[in-house]
Amino acid sequence: MTPSLLVTDLTAGYGEVQVLKGVSLTARSQGVTAVIGSNGAGKSTLMRRLAGLLPHTGGQITFEGQDISTLASHDLVARGVVLVPEGRLIFSDMTVFENLTIGAVNPRARADRDNTLETVFDFFPRLKERRSQLGGTLSGGEQQMLALGRGLMANPKLLLLDEPTLGLAPGIAKQIFQIIPSLVKLGLSVILAEQDVHKTLAIADYVYVLENGTIGAEGLSADLQNDQRIKDAYLGA
């Protein structure tokens, strides 16, 4: 697969605390690139940095051949780099429909909003049923569907999914994992940061293992599933 996003020697953190210490990775075009690692390894910091939510402190990010290292988050969304954050962060006092349509504020997404909305409703029929319901009254699983749907409304080329199944019931988590490969079939590229290593390896094309802010291992998903160190550390085998 050709690269969609290239990350070279990326550093990031919060104030004087450096979390990412020279991370390099490649996200394949129209594929699922996964970032796994234990809690506190730096996965969310990486996703926030890729989305332009943390300041540029070092390294380079290239998307579709263009240096985007210093762009603000709204400029990245306009180019097609969209984050679905950990914790959902939906607007609880807005309806499902309003939450979704606010995701299509950039001009590129707004032009195709109605078609994208139907695609979201096809993926998540429950959101269509609850389109007039306030976001804050939805279940946790429904709110995650809404957060993912809002991300899709931005008409992304590269979708950053930060812990999309965290805290969800097994049935809802399974549904999310089933949807991600379908997004790739629509032409999207996906970077998935997850703690559920079993299910992540089952859908990912290429995997990076983040350990204490650095890449500790990487490889094709099938190869890492047979790597004894990965089995011992993450798969309980």
Average pLDDT, the chain: 92
What phi and psi values does residue 2 have, to the nearest 5 degrees? -80, 155
pLDDT recorded at residue 72 = 95
Q: Cα angle vertex 82, ends 81, 87, to 5°? A: 150
Residues 6 or more apart from 216 whose CB is under 8 A from it?
A: 37, 209, 210
84 pLDDT exceeds 60? Answer: yes
pLDDT in tens, 133-168: 999 999 988 999 999 999 999 999 999 999 999 888
Percent of the chain topping pLDDT 70 = 97
What span, in angstroms and rounded, lies between the C-alpha atoms of 182 and 179? Answer: 5
CA-based nearest residue to 79, from 87, 68, 69? 68
Percent of the chain topping pLDDT 90 = 77
Strand-strand pairing, 66-67 and 81-84: unpaired
CATH homologous superfamily for 1-80+157-237? Answer: P-loop containing nucleotide triphosphate hydrolases (3.40.50.300)
pLDDT recorded at residue 235 = 67
Residue 232: pLDDT band with limits 50, 70, 90: confident
pLDDT in tens, 165-220: 988 889 889 999 999 999 999 899 999 999 889 999 999 999 999 999 999 999 99
Q: What is the pTM of this model?
A: 0.92
Residue 226: pLDDT band with limits 50, 70, 90: confident
Question: By three-state DSSP, how is residue 168 classified?
Answer: coil
pLDDT in tens, 32-47: 999 999 888 999 999 9
pLDDT recorded at residue 13 = 94
> Hey, where are the domains in the chain?
1-80+157-237, 89-155
23 pLDDT exceeds 80? Answer: yes
